[in-house]
Structure 1
Amino acid sequence: MYTSIQELTKYRIFHYFSEVSRIPRCSGKEQQMSDYLVSFAHKHRLQVIQDEAKNVIIKKPATFGYEFAPTVIIHGNMDMVCEKNRDNPHDFNKDPLELRIEGDMLYATDTSLGADSGVAIAYALALLDSKHIPHPNLEVMLTTEEKTTMNGAKRIDPALLNGSILISIDAEEEGTLLVSSAGGVIAEFTIPIMYDKRQPDTVLYDIHIGGLKGGHSGGSIVKGRGNANILLGRVLQHCAEHFDYQLVHLRGGAKANTIPREAEATIAIERKHIPLIHSFIFKWDETLKKELDMADPEVYVQCTSSMRKGNNVFSQETMTKVITALTFMPNSVQSMSTEVPGLVQSSNNLGTMRTNSDHIMLKNEIRSSVYSLQEHISQQMKVLARLLQSRVIFHSEYPAWPYHPTSNIRSLCKKIYKETYNEEVTFVSTHAGIECGILVKKMDVDAVCIGPDIHNIDTPSEHLSISSTLKTWEYLLTILKEMNTM
């Protein structure tokens, strides 16, 4: 076991993981990370390309004896989902991640770790830095905005790459090969706000839902975890059936592609209803703890006197539209695969809820491995928008990565794993949308996706197995070593 980050960084991959963890790289804000990679390439006298999307491609010639082996593209993304606990003052725009070790696990203190992208970058840099690792011609491709729009992969110019094999470092479980993934689209549901005046003799209260685990909506949607936005809608609907109140403000979730861990509503209630609201919230706290006792045992609902000011509240019509949308919006798993046991086929995640000056925005991510089912969920949202005299627009669509019956790189990976560890590697399809779908379609490459064990990804409790990271690194090196047999 390792007791300090300094001790761990004797391995080049963790040296670079530590370096990367000091550089801001929230999705959409990868400029510093992109420039760091360019600087690294120049320092090591390697050919480098930085495009307008801030994607970086670094090329390294083959070592002796591998000149005629297939050129391999090592792929990863440079951005991360920036999540932190509610009271953490960490500023992702400038503060380095505070890494810590617990047993075999590497954490960032009270923030997400960015492990999948961090490991991909660390592996890539260690390969480019190496002088003794045998390998074919390498093209390291690190993309931007993977966690949000996949805009980087969409803007990659395939003419810049010659590789016919793609090894993506974007999986989250050692001993598995990702071989297909879902497609998806972002859906922005907009409800216009009409305002009324706050009733006299009312006070403002905040209803807060928290304590949920959240997680990536591709990998964690099947785990039955609570969606704070949807749960808040249930609470607001129940309260509206039993006493009058006015809705003032709504906010929930952090990203469209993460299951929201927290949500909050500000309401105006008559003073005589204060004991009633406390009683209702106490009962809902008990109810949700029972409903989510296995998936989200730390869930809580609370209400407190609000610090907000002002006399404007949503009109009754607007409030009804909002609660109706939260009640009937498709959410969570919509269908399961009949071909792959346990695989989600289609889903929707109501990821964020924001109150703006003239509208409320409900941002969703729809996922499906079957395009017609993705379209069905989209149609449900369109019908709901028409009924509520609201609007929904769709953008940032990305394709599924279909399973191909034959794959030379997949066969090689399977053979090496069996020979090295005397175990069968597992082929896995994921409900997450990954860039392989875009890249395979764009470049017509033979692809696999690997990675070490990463837990609670994209949450403040995210952690990475150190031993698994080292094992997967050795596995990657063996794959590259055997490329001249293909």
Structure 2
Amino acid sequence: MTALHELQPQALWQWFEQICAIPHPSKHEQALSQFIQAWAKDKQLALVEDKVGNLIIRKPATPGMENRKPVVLQAHLDMVPQKNADKVHDFETDPIRAYVDGDWVTADGTTLGADNGIGMASALAVLGADDIKHGPLEVLLTIDEEAGMTGAFGLEAGMLNAEILINTDSEQEGEIYMGCAGGVDAQITVPMAWQAPEPSNSAFSLSLSGLKGGHSGVNIHLGRGNANKLLARFLFEHGDELALELTDFSGGSLRNAIPREASVGFMLPPENVARLHALVTQFQAMVRAELAIADPEPLLSLKEIPAPQQVMSEEAQNTLIDLLHACPNGVMRMSDDVPGVTETSLNVGVISTDKEAVNILCLIRSLIDSGRSEVEGILTALTNLAGAEVEFSGAYPGWKPDTASPVMAIVRDTYQDIYHKEPVIMVIHAGLECGLFKLPYPDMDMVSIGPTIRYPHGPDEMVNITTVGQYWQLLLAVLERIPEKD
């Protein structure tokens, strides 16, 4: 079996193999950060760790390139921690088991962390090289991009010297990104009241698994199943008929990942158990038919469980089911300005039940502020009608496209010169950090590039080896073509 460090470009893949070996899920990037800091000090590179934990590493220009415009290569330190339900893995202590599968690198039942580990590896490989031509160079590695963009929010004016920023967090070779969506988190709280269950009722857990999931921005337009919404639909359609008494609802694990799995606990009269089994089989067949192309393998599983001490009151249960079923999800509007790109979306990402409430965590994304505000209004109106509450937090701006960007033109022309074809200039429906960087650095010229990554934010994540080489070749050529200072 081919080892990662044997792949080309070797310096990049050696770094990525090292990154996989050090656990670095969102909010737990300290071990990887410390390793990189020790390496930078050993290489005698100038290093700054800012007050929120971002790393800025500086390298002087190579001989003859001292008068070029300074550039910052940017990536984020953290990765999304997602795994299959049957996979035993602790993201805070266990390394990622990455392996080569044909022309792809993937992981054993977990997210790979190519998002944004490949970009991080490329930046560190440039820092460590003696044979790459570049002007004054900075590398910015931010924390917590996947779970709140804490690092990007905390980056202060004056920390960077560069005039140009190359973000390495894009996920399609041949596409150059010059804009991205903004977003905001929405937490819906449905108050809970509890009562004693009917003593003679039987208790079951209904679980949904087998969905593809994926990135709630990049993949939202593909029509994949949302486990939370599908289970809510089952309850809405059959809860009354079966006389269900809910005990809990849980689903998803990240607000920026399409939920692949969800489960609901309930009790029902023994005489309805046979009908329950029949309806579960019928519902699974219907969903598989509806999602035959986008998400063909949803699996519903029933399991008898010990009888709980309490169930939701009828009013609280009805409110929860109605709200979940009515809550919008997926693409809200496609862009008129950028054909084929989602303008506004909503992901019903995480549902959890506690003693006081059922909490529903959603992520709204939009290329335009008015689109984001419209969905905020929809959720506010819906929760008002339901007697629930919604709180919005963590809003971050989009990155407004600049068609006159000089660095975008350099990347476009360089790509065409190398590969003799036009790259696609794109706006991405995802939360790249560039929008936040524009706040302290409004005049910085920005572009985003990367290799082809499939199924980010899910355990099927994989990165294409050939495109990593193409991305690397493009990056080095662009660094060599950065113009002189004005």
Shift of 1:6: 4.6
- Runs of 4 or more above 2 Å deviation: 2-10
Cα offsets for 1:173-220 (capped at 9, x unmatched): 111101111111000001111000011111111111111100001000
- Which residue of 2 is the match for residue 340 of structure 1? 338
Name the SS of the counterpart of 1:338 in structure 2.
coil
User: 1:33, 1:142 → 2: CA distance?
Assistant: 11
CA distance in 1, matches of 2:344, 2:470: 33
How far apart in 1 are the matches of 2:435 and 2:56? 19
Aligned to 2:404: 406
Determine the C-alpha separation between the residues in 1 that align with 2:115 and 2:236: 39
Counterpart secondary structure, 2:254: coil
Alpha-carbon distance in structure 1 between the residues aligned to 2:3 and 2:155 = 38
Does structure 2 retain, via aligned residues, the 8 Å contact 1:417–1:424?
Answer: yes
Please say which of residues 5-14 and 42-51 is displaced more in the overlay: 5-14
Query: In 2, distance between residues paired with 1:79 and 1:52?
Result: 17
| 2:186 aligned partner | 187
What's the offset of the Cα at 1:9?
7.5
| Residue equivalent to 1:83 | 82
Q: Is the CA contact (8 Å cut-off) linking 1:167 and 1:448 kept in structure 2?
A: yes
Secondary structure, aligned partner of 1:442: coil
CA distance in 1, matches of 2:9, 2:136: 27
- Letter of the structure 2 residue corresponding to residue 212 of structure 1: L
Give the structure 2 partner of residue 272 of structure 1. Answer: 271
SS at match of 1:318: helix
Query: Residues 104-130 of structure 1: CA distance to partner in whole angstroms, max 9, x if unpaired?
Result: 100111000110211111111111111
Q: Displacement, 1:309?
A: 4.7
Aligned equivalent of 2:437: 439
Match of 2:426 among 425, 428, 432: 428
* CA drift at 1:302: 2.5
Find the aligned partners of 1:310 and 1:205 in 2 and give their Cα distance.
10
SS state at 1:433 partner: coil
Aligned alpha-carbon RMSD (Å): 1.3
Matched, 1:104 2:103: yes
> CA offsets per residue over residues 235-259 of structure 1, 9 Å max, x none?
0111123121100011000100110
Q: Distance in 2 between matches of 1:464 and 1:213?
A: 16
TM-score using structure 1 length = 0.98
Contact preservation (8 Å) 2:247, 2:308: no
- Matching residue of 1:358: 356
Deviates more, 1:238-247 or 1:182-191: 238-247
**What is the percentage of aligned positions where both structures have the same residue?**
33
SS in 2 for 1:73: strand
Separation (CA, whole Å) in 1 of partners of 2:27 and 2:285: 39
Structure 2 residue identity aligned to 1:321: T
Unaligned regions of 5+ residues in structure 1, if any? none
Length, aligned pairs only:
484
- Offset, 1:414: 1.2
Judge which range, 6-15 or 243-252, deviates more. Answer: 6-15
Q: 1:273 is matched by which residue type in structure 2? A: N
The answer on whether the counterparts of 2:5 and 2:13 sit within 8 Å (CA) in structure 1 is no
Q: Look up the equivalent residue of 1:194 and give its one-letter code.
A: A
Question: 1:34: how far off?
Answer: 1.6
Equivalent residue number for residue 8 of structure 1: 7
Structure 1 counterpart SS, 2:206: strand
What letter corresponds to residue 73 of structure 1 in structure 2?
Answer: V
Q: Does 1:375 align with 2:383?
A: no
The answer on whether the counterparts of 2:170 and 2:177 sit within 8 Å (CA) in structure 1 is yes
Q: CA deviation at 1:148?
A: 1.5
Kept after mapping to 1: 8 A contact 2:8/2:469? no
Does structure 1 conserve the Cα–Cα contact (< 8 Å) formed by 2:67 and 2:484? no
- 2:179 maps to amino acid: S
Can you give the 5+ residue segments of structure 2 that lack an aligned partner in the other structure? Answer: none
State the 1:485 CA deviation: 5.6
Residue type at the aligned position of 2:77: M
| Cα distance in 2 for residues equivalent to 1:45 and 1:485 | 26
Residue 274 of structure 2 aligns with an amino acid whose one-letter code is: P
Counterparts of 1:89 and 1:175 in 2: how far apart (Å)?
36
In structure 2, the partner of 1:73 is 72
Q: Are the structure 2 counterparts of residues 422 and 9 from structure 1 closer, same or farther at C-alpha, using a change threshold of 3 Å? A: closer
Tell me how far apart the structure 1 counterparts of residues 414 and 379 of structure 2 sit (CA, whole Å). 46
Higher alpha-carbon deviation: 169-178 or 47-56: 47-56
Cα distance in 2 for partners of 1:190, 1:117 equals 32
Contact 2:194 2:313 in 1 (8 A): yes
Partner of 1:169: 168
Q: CA deviation at 1:355?
A: 0.6
Q: TM-score, normalised by structure 2?
A: 0.98
**1:233 aligned residue:** 232
Report the counterpart of residue 258 of structure 2 in structure 1.
Answer: 259
In structure 1, the residue matched to 2:475 is 476
Contact 1:116 1:169 in 2 (8 A): no
Give 1:210's aligned amino acid: S
Letter in 2 for 1:246: E
Q: What does the per-residue CA deviation read over 1:338-366, in whole Å, with 9 as the maximum and x for residues that have no partner?
A: 12211111110000000112111100000
Q: What whole-Å deviation, never above 9, does each CA across 1:75-102 have from its counterpart, x for those lacking one?
A: 0101111110001011101110111111
8 Å CA contact retained: 1:187, 1:392: yes
Aligned-partner residue type, residue 424 of structure 2 = T
